[in-house]
Amino acid sequence: MSDNRYQKGMENLKVMNPKSFQTLEDSLTDIAPDLARYVVEFPYGDIYTRPGLDLKIRELVTISAITTMGGADNQLKSHIRGALNVGCTKEEILEVIIQMAVYAGFPRAINGVLAAKEVFGEEESE
| Binding interface with its own copies (CB under 8 A) | 1-2, 4-5, 24, 27-28, 30-32, 34-35, 38-39, 42-43, 46-47, 50, 52-53, 57-58, 60-72, 74-75, 89, 91-92, 94-111, 113-114, 116-117, 120
- In which element (H, E) is residue 13 found? helix 2-16
Amino acid type, 16: M
Cβ–Cβ under 8 Å, residues 57 and 18: no
Rounded Cα distance between 87 and 16, Å, is 10
Give the shortest CB-20-to-its own copies separation in angstroms: 11
Give the shortest CB-14-to-its own copies separation in angstroms: 19
